[in-house]
Amino acid sequence: MTATPDLTAQDVVWDLDPLLPQPGEAGVVELLDRADRIADELAAARGRVAQMDAGELAAFLQRLAELHDVVGRAGSYAGLHFSTDTTDPARGALLQKVEERSTAITSRLLFFELEWAAVPDERADALLADDRLAFARHHLRSARRYRPHLLSEPEEVVLNEKSVTGRNAWQRLFEEQVATVTVTIDGAEMPLEAGLARLHSPDRDVRRTAAQAVTAALAPNLRTRAFVLNTLLADKAIDDRLRRYPSWIASRNLANEASDESVQALVDAVRRRYSIPQRWYALKARLLGLDRLADYDRMASVADSETEIGWSEATGIVLDAYASFSPELADTARRFFDGWIDAPARPGKRPGAFCAYTVPSHHPYVLLNWTAQRRDVLTLAHELGHGLHAYLAREQGVFHQSTPLTLAETASVFGETVTFGRLLELIDDPGERLALLAANLEDQIATVFRQIAMNRFEDAIHTARREEGELSVERFGELWARTQTDMLGPAVEVTDGYRTWWSYIPHFVATPGYVYAYAYGQLLALSVYARYEAEGEGFVPSYLDLLRAGGSMPPEELGRIVGIDLADPGFWDRGLDIVERRLTETEQAARAAGRL
């Protein structure tokens, strides 16, 4: 039977044309031409940054913000247009054109970053005290942290220009390869996302078949993807050496405004609590009637059957959940359903889900791969949280709209948690309640523990690439299996097929070091939600203030808006205590459902 449009969300597509002054490529070119003219104007300030007073610097930055807006619109359109069909040569060519021209533009303006970094501290502090620079104050202050890692202008220009045919090109090749992976199950071809979705089935034969099909689908071009990853690992090692970063993760930590010590404290705290996922997997084996789980059983539903949820019902649940917390957030969220979301899973579409902030003068967009599963409802709530954060912070402008990655998950996880609570309220059946609690627990385990396990994989491959040279497919698989097994524990068997599943994860290629931010953000958001539970409606205004602040302050100051002390050494363990409480609730639900 053919799925209905409501189950596939096939009519839920975004409208990207408002990003442009005229539709299609002509609009993109018009924006890039405008950006070229602004860049020529700004380039006249070369050699004068150190002599600018606060008024001159503010005027320069306002014009630079306009440039970022124009280039950002062109880049957002090309990137989002490409993400919905990475197999279309015309879309790929347009994306490449934008990358090449925008890189040439930014190369002409690299002098500003270098000259600003060279301004003496006393002079810089005096400038930043002027309120005319408030719209870019934190951005300017943060930029100076990179002084020890900047090269000369000619060197910076070469690295920037060559990135188009270097790092960026390798990333695009990887994305195109993964987007074209199709899984064949029972003679039917489907996108990778749809194949992975079957791992949630309550039927073990379905899960096993799906896992085997995914492994088979990943086999073609596996060595090519390994070569891409090897090349980018080497590229990063060179970049880190030239920029004098002490470790592979140091540049990511600096971008996240997090010290190396605080990130290591997070990693260590999560690893010390690996007993939480291991305790769950042992319990899950009992719930599924198995002596031991295989890796493809990890995400299996503990329900007797999976209920499909249509797009309309999902929309109602999510908006109702947001309204129960803040009518203002719900009203803003409704706007996303008028051409700001692309939901259907289609061949060639980028897998996964994301929210693109675009530029402050426009609005965000959300990409999903809808499969009508209950977890898709929570994914929708999650990405809407990102979108709401972006939308409320738009008044901060281009320099302060975005937060560091470590805070980027706050609104998304918070929205997902509110929606989970609403879903739980709608369920009376003990078995369904257990299934939902188990699914939520597994999402938290995936976001905290699995992401740290993937961070350990990244640490292993970056270290091995620098010490051993080019890594084989088998070596990648060995390091993947070891770091996953450390987290999964003895209750889960890592099969041979699973050893290649590192090869479809984009973060390792596009944003090295990114993944620990998921754990950071999850634990932070759970702590924020705990404050909401304790304070009730009185918490809402401070939470909205946090979202509106965007990235205009350091993370520690942003945390204080909602009463969170990120410098507290016990912070991580308190967040992990919340995850462990969810595990205890799930165990209790299993007994209430007569499953133990």
- In which residue ranges of the chain is CATH 1.20.140.70 found? 17-165
Tell which residue, 40, 35, 76, 63, has the closest CA to residue 135. Answer: 63
What mean pLDDT is predicted for residues 185-204? 92
The predicted-structure confidence for 95-113, as pLDDT tens digits, reads as follows 999 999 999 999 999 999 9
Instruction: Please tell me the predicted confidence (pLDDT) of residue 592.
Output: 94
Instruction: Please tell me the predicted confidence (pLDDT) of residue 4.
Output: 81
Instruction: Please tell me the predicted confidence (pLDDT) of residue 306.
Output: 67
- Cα angle value 195/411/249 (rounded, 5°): 75
pTM of the predicted model, to two decimals? 0.84
What mean pLDDT is predicted for residues 162-191? 92
What is the percent of the chain with per-residue pLDDT over 90, rounded to a whole number?
84
Question: What does the DSSP assignment read for 383-444?
Answer: HHHHHHHHHHTGGG-TTTSSPPHHHHTHHHHHHHHHHHHHHHHT---HHHHHHHHHHHHHHH
Instruction: Please tell me the predicted confidence (pLDDT) of residue 224.
Output: 97
Taking phi over 0 as left and psi of -120 to 50 as alpha, with beta for the rest, 203 belongs to beta
Q: What is the mean pLDDT of the chain?
A: 94
Instruction: Please tell me the predicted confidence (pLDDT) of residue 426.
Output: 84
Has residue 304 got a pLDDT over 80? no
Distance CA 398, CA 139 (A): 10
Distance CA 118, CA 264 (A): 31
Instruction: Please tell me the predicted confidence (pLDDT) of residue 305.
Output: 65
What mean pLDDT is predicted for residues 191-212? 93
Instruction: Please tell me the predicted confidence (pLDDT) of residue 405.
Output: 83
What mean pLDDT is predicted for residues 182-198? 92
What mean pLDDT is predicted for residues 391-398? 97
| CATH 1.10.1370.40 applies to domain 311-428+516-568 | yes
Tokens of 186: 């029972």
| Architecture of the domain delimited by 17-165 | Up-down Bundle (1.20)
The predicted-structure confidence for 489-535, as pLDDT tens digits, reads as follows 999 999 999 999 999 999 999 999 999 998 998 998 888 888 898 89
What mean pLDDT is predicted for residues 534-551? 95
Instruction: Please tell me the predicted confidence (pLDDT) of residue 1.
Output: 40
The predicted-structure confidence for 357-370, as pLDDT tens digits, reads as follows 999 999 999 999 99
Task: Round to the nearest angstrom and report the end-to-end CA distance of the chain.
Answer: 37
What mean pLDDT is predicted for residues 36-43? 97
The predicted-structure confidence for 173-184, as pLDDT tens digits, reads as follows 999 999 899 999
